[in-house]
Structures are given as C-alpha cells and as structure tokens.
Amino acid sequence: MMRYSGLRVIMEGLRGNTGWKPAWRDPEPKAEYDAIIIGGGGHGLATAYYLAKNHGLTNVAVLEKGYLGGGNVGRNTTIVRANYFLPGNSEFYSHSLKLWEGLEADLNYNVMHSQRGLINLFHSDGQRDAFVRRGNAMINQGDDAVLLDPDGVRDHLPYLDFDNTRFPIYGGLLHPRGGTARHDAVAWGYARGADQRGVDLIQNCEVTGLDIANGKVTGVQTARGAIRAKKVGLVVAGRSSQVAAMAGMRLPIESHVLQAFVTEGLKPVIDHVVSFGMGHFYISQSDKGGLVFGGDLDFYSSYAARGNLPMAEHVMEAAMTLMPMIGRAKVLRSWGGIMDMSPDGSPIIDKTETEGLFLNCGWCYGGFKAVPASGWCMAHLMATGQPHEVAKGYRLDRFLTGHGLMDEEGTGAQHNLH
Ligand SMILES: Cc1cc2nc3c(=O)[nH]c(=O)nc-3n(C[C@H](O)[C@H](O)[C@H](O)COP(=O)(O)OP(=O)(O)OC[C@H]3O[C@@H](n4cnc5c(N)ncnc54)[C@H](O)[C@@H]3O)c2cc1C
C-alpha cells in the first residue's frame, strides 16, 4: 500500500515524480461477489470502504455506469455541517461530522476538510426563535452553536448589506465546526481506501437489470455482463427510482435539478460558509479563490444534469440582495446535479422486501455531508442485517404508514420544497 506523506511528495519531486502509482486498480469484473454496490458516488464508495474496513467484507464490487465521482459527489457546493433539529436526523449528522473530523487521517488522503464555521442568517423575530430552538437542539446533541446578534454577525461578515430595508439582518446562528471539504477528493479518498482493502471498483459498468428469484436477489445484469451476488446495495442518488424499478419497486423519490455557480478566482474575501435566511442562497470561497454558491432547486422534475436560467437569475438576485459587492465578480461556470428528493426531505437507509436488496437514497441537497455516516450505516446494515443505531429512523415504510416522518423544513409532502 502506497502511503501519502509530505516526505513522499519531496522524494517524488526529487526523482521526477516517477514513483506514483494509480490511486486504484482497474479490474475486470468477477463472475461473483459477496456484495455489490450499485453507484460509485460518495455514498456507494463510502459503503464499500466501511464494508471492508469495519466488517472485513472485501469480496465486494462497486459498479459505476460512468466514472467514479462523476455524479453529485463531484457537483455539490461542498458544505459540511451538523445543524439538524429533529431527532433521527440530529444524531445521524452529528455522527457524520465526527467521522469527517477524523477522515483525512483515516483515509490517508487530503480531502481539504475546512471547519471555517457556518453562519445561518435570520431576518425576523420568528426566524430568530426558530434558530434559537435549532441551536439548543444542536447543543443538546453535543454539537456546537452560538447565537450572534447583528454586531456579532458584523464582526464576522462585515461585507453584508445589514440595512437592507426589506430583509434587515437580525442576527445569525454560528456553527463553528461547520465548513467545507473538497468534493471530488472525498470520492477519490474513499475509492483509494476501498481499493486498498481489496474492493473492485468497476467503472463504465451500468447496471441494466436486477436478478431476483423466489424473493431473493441473486445478482445484476450490467453493460459488462451478468454478475452474481447475494447482497446488492442500491446507492444511485438521482437515479434511485429508475434502478429500483428494475426490482419492481416504486420509490417515494422525485428527481430534481440543483445548480451551482463559481466565480473567477478572487483574493480571500469570504472566510465562512454563509446562508441567507430570506432567499435560498448559500456561499463560501474555495481554496482556489472562486466564490462557490447555490440556491434552490429548479422547480420541475428532470434527469438532465443542467439547470435553467430562471433559477440562475433568482440565485443572482439573492446574492446581490445579501452582499451587493458580489456584483463585481464574474461568474465563471455553473452546472447541475440530479437530486433524489424524498417527501419529508430526510433519507432512506433500509432493507427492501427483496431479500438481500438494500436501499440508500433520498439525500436531497444535503447528501454530501452525510457521506461518511451514510457509508458507515449502510455497511452496517448490509453486513449485519440490522439498522445502525444512528440511522434507525431512516425506514422506507415511514412513507407508507406516516409514522416517523422527519420533515426538518416543515414544508409538508411536496418533494421540491425540501
Ligand atoms: C449543485 C449541488 C449542490 C449541492 N450542495 C451540497 C452541499 O453543499 N452539501 C451537501 O451536504 N450536499 C450537497 N449536495 C447534495 C449531494 O451532492 C448529494 O446528496 C450526494 O452527493 C448524493 O449522493 P452520491 O454522492 O452517492 O451521489 P452521486 O455522486 O450522484 O452517485 C450516484 C452514482 O450512481 C451512478 N449510477 C446511477 N445509475 C446507475 C446504474 N444504473 N448503474 C451503475 N451506476 C449508476 C451514477 O453515475 C453516480 O455516479 C449538492 C448537490 C448538488 C447537485
């Protein structure tokens, strides 16, 4: 196993960088595995990694229809936080943030996790009350939250428009351990760690069918032939409904587009993650200097990984309202990803009615920060057959029975509002 270190970088620099090896192998698929993970995004790769690391299951394949990290894991705005309010979500995201804090050492990979602090702004007395309650819930969960008055916000974010007559800033909730990480490095780090433990990562291998006999999964059909396995994890984010339909399942998931935007590189100007309370807008600055920001979903279901201009205009308007200085920056590029939206805005990690077939989906637009805990809990479920303690609320049947719904936003059952 090749370990990365500062010393190795110096040594390789001295000998013309001839000693580096590919970060993972490019194996041919075997005829059979103990477990197959469909989807080489963050959640699929993390599941494979923890199956091998925590449960000693190494005869595992990740089947990815494109290239590793080409989906949402490499398209998001990189925000990592544990500021959830409801039981069920709180303990899960708290667990995830603790895993993030040890991730680079665990993977021996620089995922550029930066705990620069996240500030959620509020603009009315009602919003302040809601954020006070959220902050208390975070503290009760063992995470951190600090209530800021307008002067406290001004100390951190002097460049905001505080006196906006329509949306004056009443204060903010600071989550000091929140921040960002480099999104595709997370996929690469987990891929490398899984590969080193013997997992086969198979790219350009679309799953086209699920083999099921007598109520049990027996394998998958792929663009590279049939592969047998008694355990199959369906971890395909925005494509969840399509792949589940191969097992005759109709999921309570809608796929929606979410866009992200990046400006030209600028000198350091925004050193937190900032979230606007009166419009769907959030922003941070990447290490390269680009301002990375996003807003709400485009308001229609789609499988196109690109968005439309009305939402781009809406996001720019929110940006200008909050920080007029941003109008001087040039937007360099934008892109879209396909969100797997659930009716209550919370995810699903569960068994299905088909024995051996497991489901991981419904991450909406918050699934990047969930990657470590999702992989951890999905691996636990696939290896032991039992839900992990911090993910036991993520049952699929809550949408059938109505028991245990976790509607964090309080917006009801309309997928695109979560
Ligand atoms: C613009 C944008 C901003 C976001 N911002 C944030 C944020 O700031 N913070 C946050 O926490 N979350 C954010 N998210 C959400 C987060 O990125 C997703 O919830 C998360 O990445 C989804 O899980 P994943 O990484 O496994 O998905 P993906 O990377 O999409 O992985 C799924 C994989 O499955 C593969 N696949 C699909 N069908 C098949 C098949 N039939 N056979 C084989 N493979 C298949 C796909 O090719 C894909 O690679 C954002 C998302 C977007 C698009």
Cα distance between residue 90 and residue 298, in whole Å:
27
Nearest ligand 1 atom to alpha carbon 187 = 25
Cβ(30)–Cβ(7) below 8 Å: no
- Please report, for residues 81, 152, 282, the alpha-carbon distance to residue 149 in angstroms, rounded to integers and kept in the order given: 21, 5, 19
By most ligand atoms within 8 Å of CB, the mutation choice from 43, 63, 72, 394 for ligand 1 is 72
Ligand 1 near 255 CB (within 6 A) = no
Query: Residue 232 above 90 pLDDT?
Result: yes
One-letter amino acid at 25 equals R
Ligand 1: which residue has its CA nearest to atom 37?
236
Query: Residue 165 above 90 pLDDT?
Result: no
Ligand 1: which residue has its CA nearest to atom 48?
71
- Please report, for residues 23, 27, 48, 305, 338, the alpha-carbon distance to residue 65 in angstroms, rounded to integers and kept in the order given: 19, 15, 16, 15, 15
Give 233's pLDDT tier (boundaries 50, 70, 90): very high
Cα distance between residue 372 and residue 186, in whole Å:
9
Nearest ligand 1 atom to alpha carbon 340 = 19
Residues across the chain? 418
Average pLDDT along the chain: 96
Cβ(224)–Cβ(205) below 8 Å: yes
Give the pLDDT score at 279.
85
* C-alpha of 113 from chain center: 14
Cα distance between residue 418 and residue 367, in whole Å:
13
Q: How far is the CA of 71 from the centre of ligand 1 (A)?
A: 5
Look at 417 and 292; give whichever has higher pLDDT.
292
What sign for the dihedral angle of Cα 74, 77, 82, 84?
negative
By most ligand atoms within 8 Å of CB, the mutation choice from 236, 281, 333 for ligand 1 is 236
Give 299's pLDDT tier (boundaries 50, 70, 90): confident
Tokens 């979560």 map to which residue?
418
Ligand 1 near 171 CB (within 6 A) = no
Give the pLDDT score at 305.
87
Quick check: helix, strand or coil at residue 309? helix
CA-CA-CA-CA dihedral for 325, 328, 334, 338, to nearest 10: 20
Ligand 1 near 219 CB (within 6 A) = no
Cα distance between residue 305 and residue 336, in whole Å:
5
Cβ(238)–Cβ(337) below 8 Å: yes
CA-CA-CA-CA dihedral for 87, 91, 96, 102, to nearest 10: 160
Q: How far is the CA of 298 from the centre of ligand 1 (A)?
A: 16
Query: Residue 62 above 90 pLDDT?
Result: yes
Give 309's pLDDT tier (boundaries 50, 70, 90): very high
Cα distance between residue 136 and residue 148, in whole Å:
14
Query: Residue 1 above 80 pLDDT?
Result: no
* C-alpha of 252 from chain center: 19
Quick check: helix, strand or coil at residue 99? helix
The phi, psi pair for 320, rounded to 5°, reads -65, -35
Ligand 1 near 294 CB (within 6 A) = yes
Give 5's pLDDT tier (boundaries 50, 70, 90): very high
Ligand 1 near 277 CB (within 6 A) = no
Ligand 1: which residue has its CA nearest to atom 51?
76
Ligand 1 near 368 CB (within 6 A) = yes
Closest CA to 246 of 268, 224, 217: 217
**Which two structure tokens, joined as six digits, stand for 98?**
């603790």
Q: How far is the CA of 371 from the centre of ligand 1 (A)?
A: 10
Give the pLDDT score at 261.
97
Tokens 């679309």 map to which residue?
206
Nearest ligand 1 atom to alpha carbon 79 = 8
Query: Residue 214 above 90 pLDDT?
Result: yes
Query: Residue 318 above 80 pLDDT?
Result: yes
Nearest ligand 1 atom to alpha carbon 369 = 11
Ligand 1 near 337 CB (within 6 A) = yes
Cα distance between residue 194 and residue 107, in whole Å:
9
Query: Residue 164 above 90 pLDDT?
Result: no
Q: How far is the CA of 372 from the centre of ligand 1 (A)?
A: 14
pLDDT, one tens digit per residue, over 28-57 is 999 999 999 999 999 999 999 999 999 999
| pTM of the predicted model as reported, rounded to 2 decimal places | 0.97
**Beta pairing class for 179-180 and 79-80:** antiparallel
Q: How far is the CA of 312 from the centre of ligand 1 (A)?
A: 20
Instruction: Summarize the confidence of residues 314-334 as an average pLDDT.
Output: 95
Ligand 1 near 113 CB (within 6 A) = no
Give the pLDDT score at 163.
84
Percent of the chain with pLDDT over 90: 95
Cβ(385)–Cβ(371) below 8 Å: no
pLDDT, one tens digit per residue, over 406-416 is 999 889 999 98
**Which two structure tokens, joined as six digits, stand for 296?**
């709400």
Tokens 């929110």 map to which residue?
318
